[in-house]
A and B are shown apart, each in its own frame.
Chain A
């Protein structure tokens, strides 16, 4: 019990919260980027543009089917070879965004696929352009359909930021490790704190999504 009281000193809690802040920063940035990029890629893939869709689709499949850890390594250690030399936080955002964009693209593709083809045809018959039909008729319905999948993907994103401890990203998990690494009596209190903090963030994210889903629908 004493371990818990000592472990949750203000200094340690503040250090954990600093880590949590980095986790949240990286998550929010990656969610926004991967939502935009992923949706665009999903549309490109769905639209069957000659060669382009096939190449994009193949790259998406490669990225989707690799462990995120490898994407992190390739981003942080590989990108400098082509002249991009990100610092640790931008590197983490890039790695998360690359991986999550591919995941989102797949969700968007199957979301659009789930919408009845007849609707697009009807819209085209009514004089809408293909892009208009997609934007006005198909996408809004598709996004509604795929909200649950998107939300759980974004929750995964928040959780997966913890993997970036391996490149010494100063996020929540890493800060907890620094604390219990300096005093191993704090292992259990730190894991309890990690579980609680991650749970709060992820669960609020799903509550927020529920709220938006109900009020926008």
Chain B
């Protein structure tokens, strides 16, 4: 195993960096898109609500692998040339955004209804009330679940391995196939994933306790 690390540290490290990069891009992207669709889902306009609902249900009920592979295989045929990393990151962003929309929506709903009315009665518009009163509070409520979404995101980024996204899992597969040292390779890859996810997970639990 020491030998494996000594000879393969470079691809492993590249993989780890790609995994982190892809996870961060997807997190930022899915936060923006997710919040947007959460707002659609609770809007007063029926049409917007339906659009928000459909988006969330579609991306929540289709496997990430199907979404990612579709981006990798179909988009380049008709629309634009995108590589595996990009296709994977887009797929991951859209998939996660549906979960974030649900989390944010639940967060907004958990804020007392009276607050919105209060804000409106002081002369704020709906838009202002959302922006200055409701969303800041909602975000505080949703920080722990969002943290868990980020952990899921890091784990789910392994789907890039299916589309040659050069992430940690892809590099792991190549090394395992190359050296035929399957279990030791995946053991090292596992440790590398845990280095990112385990501290995050403990921190989130700590935060949950503090906020509760």
Q: Does a CB–CB distance below 8 Å link A and B in the complex?
A: yes
**Measuring CB to CB, which residues of chain A are less than 8 angstroms from any residue of chain B?**
61-62, 64-70, 73-74, 77-78, 81, 110, 152, 155, 159-160, 162-163, 165-166, 173, 187-188, 191, 194-195, 198-199, 202-203, 206
| Contact pick for A64, options B63, B64, B186, B201, CB 8 Å | B201
Find chain A residues with CB under 8 A from B63 CB. Answer: 159-160, 162-163, 173, 194, 198
Contact with A along B105-136 (1 / 0, CB 8 A): 00000000000000000000000000000000
B161 within 8 A of A: yes
Closest CB pairs A-B (n = 7): A65-B197, A202-B61, A159-B63, A67-B158, A162-B63, A67-B155, A162-B65
Structural contact, A74 and B155, CB atoms closer than 8 A = no
Q: Please classify the interface of chain A as helix (H, G, I), strand (E, B), loop, or mixed, using the class held by over half of its residues.
A: helix
B169 touches which of A62, A67, A195, A202 (Cβ 8 Å): A67
Q: Which residues of B contact A (CB under 8 A)?
A: 57-58, 60-66, 69-70, 73-74, 77, 151, 155-159, 161-162, 169, 176, 182-183, 186, 189-190, 193-194, 197-198, 201-202, 208
Q: How far in angstroms is the closest Cβ of chain A from B175? A: 12
- Least Cβ–Cβ distance between B19 and chain A, in angstroms: 10
The chain B residue sitting closest to A166, CB to CB, is B162
Determine the residue in chain A with the shortest Cβ distance to B156: A67
Nearest CB in chain A: distance from B50 CB, A: 16
- A191 x B70 contact (CB < 8 A): yes
15 more contacts with CB within 8 A, not counting A70-B190, A159-B65, A198-B61, are: A62-B198, A67-B155, A67-B158, A67-B169, A69-B161, A69-B169, A70-B193, A73-B182, A77-B186, A110-B208, A159-B61, A173-B66, A187-B74, A199-B58, A203-B61
Q: What residues of chain A lie closer than 8 Å to B62, measured between beta carbons?
A: 159, 194-195, 198-199, 202
C-alpha spacing A203/B54, complex, angstroms: 12
The 8 Å CB contact of B183, one of A66, A77, A191, A202, is A77
Where chain B touches its partner, the secondary structure class is helix
Q: In the complex, which of the residues B74, B157, B182 contacts A191, with contact meaning CB atoms closer than 8 Å? A: B74
Residue of B nearest to A204 (CB): B61
For A198, the closest partner residue in chain B by CB is: B62
Given A65-B194, A65-B197, A195-B62 in contact, is the A74-B74 Cβ separation under 8 Å?
A: no
Q: Which residues on B sit within 8 Å (CB–CB) of A195?
A: 58, 62, 66, 70
Please indicate the chain A residues that have their CB under 8 angstroms from the CB of B194 in the complex. Answer: 62, 65-66
CA distance A185 to B158 in the complex (A): 28
Inter-chain CA distance A159–B95, complex, in Å, is: 12
Q: What are the residues of chain A within 8 A of B202 when measuring CB–CB?
A: 61
Contact B182 A61 (CB under 8 A): no
Are B198 and A159 touching (Cβ within 8 A)?
no
Cβ contacts under 8 Å, A152 to chain B: 60
User: A66-B190, A155-B61 are contacts. A188–B74 as well, Cβ < 8 Å?
Assistant: yes
Tell me if B66 and A70 are in contact (CB < 8 A).
Answer: no
A and B contact pairs by CB, cutoff 8 A, 12 listed: A67-B156, A67-B158, A69-B159, A69-B161, A70-B158, A70-B169, A73-B176, A77-B183, A81-B183, A165-B65, A166-B162, A202-B60
**Contact present for B74 and A66 (CB under 8 Å):** no
Given A77-B182, A155-B61: A66 in contact with B66 (beta carbons within 8 A): no
